[in-house]
Amino acid sequence: MWVVTGGAGFIGSALLWKLNEEGLSNILAVDLLENSEKWKNLRDRRFADYLEADDFKGRLLADQLPKIEGIVHLGACSSTTETDAAFLIENNYEYTKALAQWALAKKARFIYASSAATYGDGRLGYSTDAATTEKLRPLNLYGYSKQLFDLWALRRGVLTKFVGIKFFNVFGPNEYHKGEMRSLVVKAYEQIQQDGKIRLFKSYKPEYRDGEQARDFLYVKDAVHVIYEFMTAKGHGGLYNLGAGLARTWNDLAKAVFSALGKPPLIDYIEMAETLRPQYQYHTQADMGWRKKGKPFMSLEDGVKDYVQNYLSKENPYL
C-alpha cells in the first residue's frame, strides 16, 4: 500500500487520478478536510481508505496500519502569505520530520514536496546541489518551512534516501479550493467570463515591463506523471526540481487563456499590494538537467487549452 498525504488537495488528488489511470487503487488517502471543498476532489477517485492527518500520524507511529510500501507526502500549508510561524513549523516541518523518521526506520520509500519558494529571489540560481541549498534565503515563511526540512535531511546525511521535489508553478484541475492561491489560469478564466479582461500586476523593477515577470509553469498532469516515475523507479534519492524548465511571462499565460477561449487578449495592469512587493519573485526557472529522458511535457499553451476547454468549461471540472 502507498500513502498519499494531501490526497484531497490539488496535486495529491491529481496523483490519485494518475494512479487510478495506471490501474492502482491500494492507496491510503490522508488529508485534513475541515470546512473546505477539497472533498469534491475525491468523489471520482478510487482508494482503499481515507484518514484525517492527525489520526494517520498516530496510527502510523503506533504501527496500527497495514504494510506500507511508501509515502508520498504532499500534505502541507502552501499559502505564501501565511504569517503564523508556529503553525507552519508544526504543519510543514515537524510533521514531515516524523514521517521521514518513520520511513527511515521501516526502510519505506519517502517522497515529499519541497518548493521553488525555497529559492527566494533566485539570485543564487535554481540548483538543488548541497552547497546552494545551504545558502538559500526564502522570501516568505512558507518557503522557509520547506527549506528547514531540506536542510534537516541534508545535514543528517539522509536526503539521498528520500526524494524531495521542488515544485514550481503547477496549474490545472482540482485546485479550486485554494482560494487566492489558485493559479492565474482559473482566476483569468473567471475574470474573462465576468468582464472580458484579465488583471495582472504591474512591475516595480525597471528591467521588467508590466506582465513580463516570468514563472516556470507546469501542467498538473505532467507533475503527477513525474511523481509516478519516482514511485516506480527504485533507487532515486535527493532533491529534484519539477517545472517545465522554461520561464514564461504572465502575459504569455494570459494570452494562452484568451486563445483557449477563442477571444482576443485584453489585459489591465494593476497595483500590487505593498506588503507583497518585498517577497515577490520576478523570475523562476527550474534547472531540469536531471531529467534527460521521459515523456515530454505539454507546452504552456497546450496545458492551458486542456484545462480551459476540458475542465473549466465543463459542468464537472474535476479530474
DSSP string, 252-310: HHHHHHHHHTT----EEEEPPPTTTGGG--SB-----TT--SSSPPPPHHHHHHHHIII
The lowest-confidence range among 42-46, 75-79, 127-131 is: 75-79
pLDDT at 174 over 80: yes
pLDDT at 20 over 80: yes
Q: What is the pLDDT of residue 292?
A: 87
Q: Percent of the chain at pLDDT above 90?
A: 94
pLDDT at 179 over 80: yes
- How many alpha carbons lie under 13 Å from residue 296 in its C-beta half-sphere? 4
Q: What is d(CA 77, CA 272) in angstroms, rounded to the nearest whole number?
A: 23
Q: What is the pLDDT of residue 188?
A: 98
Give me the CATH topology for the region 176-215+246-312.
UDP-galactose 4-epimerase; domain 1 (3.90.25)
pLDDT at 297 over 80: yes
What value does the mean pLDDT take over residues 78-97? 94
What value does the mean pLDDT take over residues 286-303? 94
pTM comes to 0.96
98's grid cell: 516524523
Q: How many helices (H) and strands (E) does the chain have?
A: 10, 13
**Do 2-169+217-242 and 176-215+246-312 come out as alike in CATH topology?**
no
Q: How far lies 194's CA from each of 190, 220, 238, 253, 310, in Å?
A: 6, 25, 45, 18, 20
Query: pLDDT of 230-261, one tens digit each?
Result: 999 877 799 999 999 999 999 999 999 999 99
Percentages of the chain per state (helix, strand, coil), in multiples of 5: 40, 15, 40
- Specify whether the CB–CB gap between 15 and 231 falls below 8 A: no
Q: What is the pLDDT of residue 223?
A: 98
What b-and-e string marks burial along 121-139, b requiring 16 or more CB atoms within 10 Å of the CB?
A: ebeeebebeeeebeebebb
The lowest-confidence range among 135-139, 180-184, 235-239 is: 235-239
For every residue of 91-103, DSSP letters joined together read IIIIHHHHHHHHH
Q: What is the pLDDT of residue 235?
A: 74
Furthest CA-CA distance within the chain: 58
Encoded amino acid at 122, one letter: G
- Average pLDDT score, the chain: 96
pLDDT at 294 over 90: no
Catalytic residue IDs: 142, 178
Q: What is the pLDDT of residue 81?
A: 86
Q: How far lies 180's CA from each of 58, 184, 302, in Å?
A: 32, 9, 24
Q: What is the pLDDT of residue 5?
A: 98
pLDDT at 100 over 90: yes
What value does the mean pLDDT take over residues 152-171? 97
pLDDT at 97 over 90: yes
Architecture of domain 2-169+217-242: 3-Layer(aba) Sandwich (3.40)
| Domain range annotation of the chain | 2-169+217-242, 176-215+246-312
Encoded amino acid at 298, one letter: M
